[in-house]
Chain A
Amino acid sequence: MTASPLRVAAALLALALAACAGPARQRVEGWSGVGSGETVVVGRIELVPQLRKGEQKLENLNSGSFENVVFLMADDKNRVLQSEPKAADLGGRIEATLEQTFFVRSSDQPFYILGGMIWLEIGRGMNKAYFPGGLRVPLKTGDKAVYVGTVRYYRDEFWNFSKVAIVDDYDRANAEYRKKFGTKIPLRKALLIPVK
């Protein structure tokens, strides 16, 4: 809960946090954006029920780029985010548009999804919701393209998450992958692994 004497200041602080964060894992549309020793990570984030119209209120300049986007915070080492994520936690994130397959470039080393975050309000107030993490992205040295699955988050109207399911939707993802990247390099399937 936040108390703010200046609403604008609060909103600017929110945007500053995003601006100060290190870069996200870059989205790629073809091999030209992928270097040697890098892997294309393919996956998808879904919400059940889906985000409704009006559920996000993003009223500040440039905040529209956060629409339908979940920030998946990632790190080489698994750890539990104890409090509100810091700017440093957002470096190397995956910016996943809900209900759409993402294609991002990454090193060919395994990493962990620590959690997710979505902006619900930027403007008159600022409000976010956090998604559970604890998922291992099982990349292997030499991987060129890996499908990690669809993460389906089940929630109620108050943003309490009741279940997280890793769904294998390889055929659809592979069809999209082939359109963008061709058929020369196959898309390896290696679904996300919940960390115990």
Chain B
Amino acid sequence: MKNRIWLVFALLALALSAGCASRGHERDINDPTNSLVFGFVDMDDAPTKISYASLQQVAPPTDAPYWGLAVRKGLFYNAYLPPGSYQLSKFGGSGFWAGENVYNFPRQGNQTAMRIDKPGIYFLGSFKYKTEKSGMFEPGKFSMQKVAKPTEADLLKRILDEGSGIKDSAWRERIQARLKQIK
């Protein structure tokens, strides 16, 4: 019985963390001003996989600029973003040998910088993590190299199939329409 109680708590914590990852800022998933922003990163050459990621809203000014992204096997997305300017802020994850790692993106010269002028579907791209040379007393450096696959369509299908609450929301039609458009 004791074990079952812990299982309930563990599942509850998992559900809450999954919800927080892609929601945040208390917006409704069917809000017509929402945009879907997504991308993919291949972390095979990184010290760890990623288990969390965030976008930073750089305009308009806000007291809560960070938006969590849902992360699933390299795919990351948020379906609740209001119009504004955004860029990837950080990834993070842990591994048995590598421990906790944080991958920070620059505020300036960030290749994922993006303006959302009107609600829609925005593909940041697919990337591969590459370790860059750094000095002994410097933090590790990396770059994100654009790759052709997975494609925008591949990832949209995954969001539709795997995304929490996506299939039962207004996103279903919007994603299907986008898939037809890019076929």
Contacting pair B98 A126 (CB below 8 A): no
User: Contact string, B65-103, partner A, CB cutoff 8 A, digits 1/0?
Assistant: 100000000000000000001010110000000111111
B63: interface (CB < 8 Å): yes
14 extra interface residue pairs, beta carbon distance < 8 Å, beyond A3-B141, A5-B98, A5-B99: A1-B105, A1-B106, A3-B103, A3-B131, A3-B140, A4-B101, A5-B47, A5-B140, A7-B102, A125-B104, A127-B104, A129-B107, A158-B110, A158-B113
Contacts of A159 in B (CB 8 A): 107-109
Across the interface, name the chain B residue whose C-beta is closest to A52.
Answer: B61
B137: interface (CB < 8 Å): yes
Known A-B contacts A125-B104, A129-B108, A157-B85; A2 and B59 likewise in contact (beta carbons under 8 Å): no
Contact pick for B108, options A5, A7, A10, A158, CB 8 Å: A158
Contacts of A4 in B (CB 8 A): 101-102, 104, 139-140
Across the interface, name the chain A residue whose C-beta is closest to B61.
Answer: A52
What separation, in Å, do the CA atoms of A188 and B138 have in the docked complex?
Answer: 43
Binding site for B on A (CB under 8 A): 1-5, 7, 9-10, 13, 52-55, 120-121, 125-130, 157-160
Q: How large is the interface on B (under 10, 10 to 19, 20 to 34, 35 or more residues)?
A: 20 to 34
User: Contact string, B111-138, partner A, CB cutoff 8 A, digits 1/0?
Assistant: 0010000000000000000010000011
Contacting pair B46 A3 (CB below 8 A): yes
Within B140-169, which residues are at the interface with A (CB < 8 Å)?
140-144
Contacting pair B104 A13 (CB below 8 A): no
Contacts of A157 in B (CB 8 A): 58-59, 85
Known A-B contacts A157-B58, A158-B85, A158-B113; A2 and B140 likewise in contact (beta carbons under 8 Å): yes
What separation, in Å, do the CA atoms of A121 and B102 have in the docked complex?
Answer: 15
What is the minimal beta-carbon distance from A87 to any residue of chain B, in angstroms?
Answer: 11
What separation, in Å, do the CA atoms of A4 and B103 have in the docked complex?
Answer: 7
User: Contact string, B9-32, partner A, CB cutoff 8 A, digits 1/0?
Assistant: 000000000000000000000000
What separation, in Å, do the CA atoms of A102 and B67 have in the docked complex?
Answer: 38
Contacts of A5 in B (CB 8 A): 47, 98-102, 140
Contact pick for B142, options A1, A9, A158, CB 8 Å: A1
Contacting pair A13 B85 (CB below 8 A): no
What separation, in Å, do the CA atoms of A13 and B65 have in the docked complex?
Answer: 26
What separation, in Å, do the CA atoms of A194 and B87 have in the docked complex?
Answer: 32
Q: Which of B61, B99, B105, B106 has the most CB of A within 10 A?
A: B106
What separation, in Å, do the CA atoms of A125 and B100 have in the docked complex?
Answer: 14
Contacting pair A126 B108 (CB below 8 A): no
Q: Which of A3, A54, A130 has the most CB of B within 10 A?
A: A3
What separation, in Å, do the CA atoms of A55 and B140 have in the docked complex?
Answer: 25
What separation, in Å, do the CA atoms of A127 and B108 have in the docked complex?
Answer: 8
Contacts of B113 in A (CB 8 A): 158
What separation, in Å, do the CA atoms of A2 and B58 have in the docked complex?
Answer: 20
